[in-house]
């Protein structure tokens, strides 16, 4: 506004006769309108560097030096703005020099100085207000951010902690639900998942315990492998059967552990085999294992491993072998007398021996002997069968066993051969036992009969009774010239076993007497065994439990 008024004043044409105000008066009037509180220094300078108007009356009409910004404005028409400090008050001052143009030609200049310290003070105050507002806004934002973050992150942090607990198997805690928003819905879903996982984990743990209990209490061994056929799991019976601990067998191929490399190449072929009987026998002992194989597949039918169930079938194999041997022996024992009888009967009926008064009685006697032999054999078999099926009844009673021994030996004394002697070593006292007299008599008859059969002429049979702790030991010794080899001693109590088969058949033996004796002694809770020296004789021992005094007194 000031510049426009001054330029308008400079642009007016004035003549000498014009009675209006002069340029100086008009400029002075213009500058007087601006108070000194707005401009500390205001000058309007013409092209001669003479002050035409100013807010300071003492400067009007004076001529100033035309240096610096004033010269540049008047001579060259270039404005200038500069901020400097007042040398007296050190206040910041805005110094502005504006050229006065008339038809594009500079004809003067306006020089002004205005204090801007108050502006700076206001700016500083505004800046301070903005700074305080910014700090307050930041603090509020931080507080709101923390509150919002806690609202969002606290449930998530709790879910994270709960997830870590769930990973460790702890399903006892729940996540707090703070609202019904998305995070609240997530917390509700998380708690529901926790309940479901807890139930699933309990079910899995129960099944695992059941499986572990089944595996631990199984009499059969169980071996599990991975998809490569390497062992990953074994129960205790399996470690005992294969003779390796889980630590030793883990990671080993099952084909090598079961020693079936000669039968299959890898674990996949074992399932095709179905089951195998594996021989783990050594020179001293028979040991057979039966292995049944089944594969484990995933949903796609891919082979994931093998489950093998192994069991000890040694006893079963022994029983099968004994059964086959027993059938063979029975068949042989029956065939021999039947063949003999058939031959003699054919001779009697077809060969004319019936008419021979000397041969006919002999042939009939042989036939009768063979018939009686078969009857004895069948009776012994029936008795063993009853004992095997627990059908044989024991009629035990408390008796003084010494008189029974003398009675049995007296009977043998009356029927003995003249060239065999009996020696009795029986204590002269009362010894009470609980026995079935008929069954014990049968045991002694069987053992004495064998001793008589195998004793040579002039031999001696010794019957000895010894009282031991809680039991009575009876021994029957002969002086058989053959004796029994040490490795055969245990076999003499097996069915149909004979040391001298030809002589035994010649004397009418069935090979079942000692087997029956063993069953009877065991039924009386006793033991039976034998000792022998080849060329000198054999001694058969058996024991019977003594009657406890307290027990015996109560049964009188």
pLDDT at 552: 41
Per-residue pLDDT, 466: 93
Are the beta carbons of 221 and 257 closer than 8 angstroms?
no
Q: Specify whether the CB–CB gap between 416 and 422 falls below 8 A.
A: yes
pLDDT tens digits, 35-82: 555 677 777 887 778 878 776 776 777 777 766 777 887 777 888 888
Model confidence at 103, pLDDT cuts 50, 70, 90, reads: confident
Q: What is the pLDDT of residues 358-386, one digit of tens each?
A: 777 877 877 887 787 777 777 777 777 77
Asked if the model's pLDDT at residue 20 lies above 70, the reply is no
Q: Which residues contact 27 (CB under 8 A, 6 or more apart)?
A: 6, 9, 44, 52, 53
98 three-class SS:
strand
More confident residue, 322 or 362: 362
Of 14-28, 114-128, 264-278, 314-328, minimum mean pLDDT range: 14-28
Q: Cα dist. 81→3, 54, 69, 97 in Å?
A: 15, 19, 9, 6
Q: Assign domain 218-312 one CATH number from 3.40.50.300, 3.30.450.20, 3.50.50.60, 2.40.50.140.
A: 3.30.450.20
Mean pLDDT confidence for 499-522: 68
> pLDDT at position 483, please?
66
Mean pLDDT of 299-314: 83
* pLDDT reported for residue 502: 46
Predicted pLDDT at 433: 93
Backbone angles phi, psi at 297, to 5 degrees: -120, 150
312 phi, psi to nearest 5 deg: -85, 115
pLDDT band at residue 553 using 50, 70 and 90 as cut-offs: very low
Higher pLDDT, 22 or 20: 22
Share of the chain above pLDDT 70, in %: 82
Q: Where are the alpha helices (DSSP H) in 309-400?
A: 314-349, 359-388
Structure-block tokens of residue 100: 């006065």
Reported as a single tens digit per residue, the pLDDT across 407-450 is 988 888 877 655 788 889 999 999 999 998 988 998 998 898 88
SS3 category, 32: helix
**Listed residue (437, 426, 448, 432) closest to 404, CA to CA:** 437
Average pLDDT over residues 149-169: 81
- pLDDT band of residue 341 (cuts 50, 70, 90) is confident
Domain boundaries for CATH 3.30.450.20 within the chain: 2-115, 218-312
Q: Residue 274 phi/psi, 5° resolution?
A: 80, -70
Q: Residue 142 burial (CB < 10 Å; 0-12/13-18/19+)?
A: exposed
User: According to CATH, where is 3.30.565.10 located in the chain?
Assistant: 397-554
Can you tell me the distance from the alpha carbon of 393 to that of 501, in angstroms, rounded to the nearest whole number? Answer: 32
In order, the DSSP letters of 426-465 are --SS--EEEE-HHHHHHHHHHHHHHHHHHPPTT-EEEEEE
- Nearby residues of 62 by Cβ (< 8 Å), 6 or more positions away: 50, 51
Higher per-residue pLDDT: 199 or 351? 199
Q: What is the mean pLDDT of residues 459-488?
A: 83
Q: Which residues of the chain form CATH 1.10.287.130?
A: 317-388
Class of domain 397-554: alpha beta
Mean residue pLDDT across the chain: 79
Q: Residues, the chain, total?
A: 556
Domain made up of 2-115: CATH architecture: 2-Layer Sandwich (3.30)
- Min mean pLDDT across 28-42, 238-252, 275-289, 451-465 is at 28-42
Of the two residues 59 and 506, the one the predictor is more confident about is: 59
DSSP label of 156: H
Residue range 317-388 in CATH 2.40.50.140: no
pLDDT of residue 527: 92
How does residue 167 score in pLDDT terms, banded at 50, 70 and 90? confident
Instruction: Round the CA-based radius of gyration of the chain to a whole number and report it.
Output: 66
């Amino acid at each position: 506004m000031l510049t426009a008024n001054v330029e308008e004043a400079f642009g007016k044409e004035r003549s000498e006769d014009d009675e209006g105000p002069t340029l100086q008066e008009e400029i002075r009037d213009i500058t007087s309108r601006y108070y000194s509180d707005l401009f500390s220094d205001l000058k309007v300078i013409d092209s001669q560097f003479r002050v035409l108007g100013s807010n300071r009356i003492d400067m009007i009409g004076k001529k100033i030096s035309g240096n610096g910004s004033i010269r540049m404005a008047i001579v060259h028409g270039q404005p200038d703005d500069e901020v400097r400090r007042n040398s007296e008050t050190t206040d910041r001052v805005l110094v502005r020099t504006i050229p006065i143009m008339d038809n594009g030609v500079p004809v003067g200049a306006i020089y002004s100085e205005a204090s801007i310290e108050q502006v700076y003070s206001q700016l500083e105050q505004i800046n301070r207000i903005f700074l305080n507002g910014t700090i307050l806004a930041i603090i509020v934002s931080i507080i709101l951010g923390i509150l919002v973050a806690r609202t969002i992150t606290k449930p998530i942090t709790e879910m994270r902690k709960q997830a870590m607990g769930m990973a460790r198997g702890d399903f006892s805690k729940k996540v707090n639900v703070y609202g019904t928003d998305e995070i609240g819905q997530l917390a509700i879903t998380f708690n529901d998942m926790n309940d479901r996982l807890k139930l699933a984990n309990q079910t899995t743990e129960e099944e695992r315990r059941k499986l572990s209990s089944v595996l631990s209490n199984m009499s059969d061994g169980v071996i599990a492998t991975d998809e490569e056929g390497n062992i990953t799991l074994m129960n205790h019976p399996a470690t005992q059967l294969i003779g390796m601990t889980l630590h030793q067998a883990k990671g080993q191929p099952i084909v090598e552990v079961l020693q079936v490399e000669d039968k299959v190449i890898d674990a996949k072929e074992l399932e095709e085999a179905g089951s195998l009987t594996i021989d783990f026998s050594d020179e001293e002992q028979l040991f057979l294992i039966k292995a049944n194989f089944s594969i484990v597949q995933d949903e796609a039918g891919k082979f994931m491993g093998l489950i093998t169930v192994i069991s000890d079938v040694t006893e079963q194999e022994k029983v099968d072998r004994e059964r086959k041997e027993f059938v063979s022996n029975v068949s042989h024992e029956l065939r021999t007398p039947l063949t003999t009888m058939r031959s003699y009967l054919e001779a009697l009926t077809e060969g004319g021996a019936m008419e021979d008064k000397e041969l006919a009685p002999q042939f009939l006697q042989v036939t009768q002997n063979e018939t009686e032999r078969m009857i004895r054999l069948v009776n012994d078999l029936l008795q063993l069968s009853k004992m095997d099926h627990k059908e044989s009844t024991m009629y035990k009673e408390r008796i003084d066993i010494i008189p029974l021994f003398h009675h049995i030996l007296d009977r043998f004394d009356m029927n003995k051969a003249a060239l065999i002697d009996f020696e009795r070593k029986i204590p002269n006292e009362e010894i009470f036992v609980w026995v079935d007299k008929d069954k014990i008599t049968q045991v002694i008859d069987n053992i004495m009969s064998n001793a008589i059969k195998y004793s040579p002429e002039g031999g001696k049979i010794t019957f000895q009774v010894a009282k031991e702790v809680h039991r009575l030991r009876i021994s029957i010794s002969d002086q058989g010239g053959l004796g029994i080899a040490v490795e055969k001693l245990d076999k003499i109590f097996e069915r149909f076993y004979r040391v001298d088969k030809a002589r035994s058949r010649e004397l009418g033996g069935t090979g079942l007497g000692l087997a029956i004796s063993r069953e009877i002694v065991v039924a009386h809770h006793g033991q039976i065994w034998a000792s022998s020296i080849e060329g000198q004789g054999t001694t058969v021992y058996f024991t019977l439990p003594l009657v406890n005094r307290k027990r015996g007194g109560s049964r009188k």
